[in-house]
Amino acid sequence: MILNKLFVVLVWLVINFSGKGRCEMSIEDLHRDVLELRKLIVEMTTTIATQNSRIAYLQRTLNRQRSYCHREKLQKEVQDTKGYINYSVAKNNPNTMVMTNNGSGVVSSNRGDFRSSGRRPSVETPQLPFQSSLVRKGRLLIPQPTQPPHPSHNATAFYAYLSSDVAHPGQGQILKFDAVKTNAGNGYHPNSGIFIAPETGYYVFSWTSRIKHYGSTGEDHALELIINGQIFGSIYMKSLTGEDGQATGLATAHVNKGDDVYIQTHHQDPGSGAIRSDFYGRSSFTGWKLY
């Protein structure tokens, strides 16, 4: 704005001095214009000095913020790395080191001592960052075990699917998922399609089924989860015109040792069509023990 005013005054002076080849300004007018120019120059100088001061202040503030953020980032990385190391050591070497929850740090322990005293060491699980760089750094600092750690209890889990389609199974028929892929604890019996719980506890069961499309009206089926002779859950599937149907069920249940768990077609409705299972999609049955 100030530069514009100065430019206008200079142009006006040039026009007045050279417009007719002679000076038509009085000394008083010229003196007044010079004073105005001086005033504009002083204002410009003051404005520039103020702006330079503000720029310098902002630059100092920016440098302080950068330094603070960098320091905070380094401190967080150090804390996260220490937490990851302590957590990994306590997890992979439970006989030698644990993290107490009272903030006292890492202490040496012996599993036999805790068993004899009836006490269990408490482990404080740190909040792990979801940053791949920190995870990689932590892994480089942790000695990897040569053998996988043994679970503290016997695992129970199974997964099996139908190796082929089941055509018109009828009502109340147990599905025999014959292709067994996982059977930890040997609780699932593919010849009968029944899972016999080896231990009492809470279990999760999931079953998925596809139905094959035939006619223009479509087909439908319902499958039930049976636990110890009682219906615990069910799914319903229906094929549309030109398309197969699919459904999945999920249930959590307390199961006693020796209870039977299996999947059967609806106890009253035989349904229609075939239950499909091929390399495009498997009709399957799975379960595992939570605790």
Residue 121 pLDDT grade (very low, low, confident, very high; cuts 50, 70, 90): very low
Q: Which residue has the higher pLDDT, 267 or 168?
A: 267
Question: Is it the case that residue 11 has pLDDT exceeding 70?
Answer: no
Whether 163 and 26 map to the same domain: the answer is no
What is the pLDDT at residue 111? 43
Q: Which residue has the higher pLDDT, 35 or 9?
A: 35
For 32-60, the DSSP string reads HHHHHHHHHHHHHHHHHHHHHHHHHHHHH
Which of 179-188, 215-224, 239-248 is most confident? 179-188
What is the pLDDT at residue 1? 58
What is the pLDDT at residue 4? 63
* CATH number, domain containing residue 282: 2.60.120.40
What is the pLDDT at residue 167? 86
Whether 21 and 145 map to the same domain: the answer is yes
Q: What average pLDDT score do residues 256-267 get?
A: 95
Whether 33 and 112 map to the same domain: the answer is yes
How many CA within 13 A on the CB side of residue 276? 20
Whether 82 and 10 map to the same domain: the answer is yes
Mean pLDDT taken over the chain: 77
How far apart are alpha carbons 285 and 136 in whole angstroms?
37
The two three-digit tokens of residue 148, written as one number: 């996988």
Whether 262 and 239 map to the same domain: the answer is yes
| Residue 56 lies in domain | 1-150
Structurally, how many domains does the chain consist of? 2
Which residue in this structure is represented by tokens 């279990």? 203
Q: Which residue has the higher pLDDT, 16 or 135?
A: 16
Whether 31 and 52 map to the same domain: the answer is yes
* pTM exceeding the 0.75 threshold for the entire prediction: no
167-191: pLDDT as tens digits: 888 889 999 999 999 999 999 999 9
How far apart are alpha carbons 7 and 44 in whole angstroms?
13
Which residue in this structure is represented by tokens 């999609």? 281
Q: Are strands 201-211 and 245-255 parallel, antiparallel or unpaired?
A: antiparallel
The two three-digit tokens of residue 258, written as one number: 């020796």
Among candidate residues 206, 225, 230, the one with its CA nearest the CA of residue 287: 206
What is the pLDDT at residue 194? 97
Q: What average pLDDT score do residues 250-267 get?
A: 96
What is the pLDDT at residue 117? 42
Whether 116 and 146 map to the same domain: the answer is yes
Long-range contacts of 126-133 (CB under 8 A, 24+ apart): 126/80, 126/83, 126/84, 126/86, 126/87, 127/83, 128/80, 128/83, 128/84, 128/87, 129/80, 129/84, 131/80
Whether 47 and 180 map to the same domain: the answer is no
Whether 136 and 236 map to the same domain: the answer is no
What is the pLDDT at residue 137? 52
Domain final position from 118, 150, 182: 150
What is the pLDDT at residue 260? 97
Q: Which residue has the higher pLDDT, 166 or 102?
A: 166
Burial class (CB in 10 A: 0-12, 13-18, 19+), 209: buried
What is the pLDDT at residue 188? 98
Whether 124 and 241 map to the same domain: the answer is no
Whether 140 and 276 map to the same domain: the answer is no
Which residue in this structure is represented by tokens 């636990």? 227
Q: How many CB atoms lie within 10 A of CB 191?
A: 7
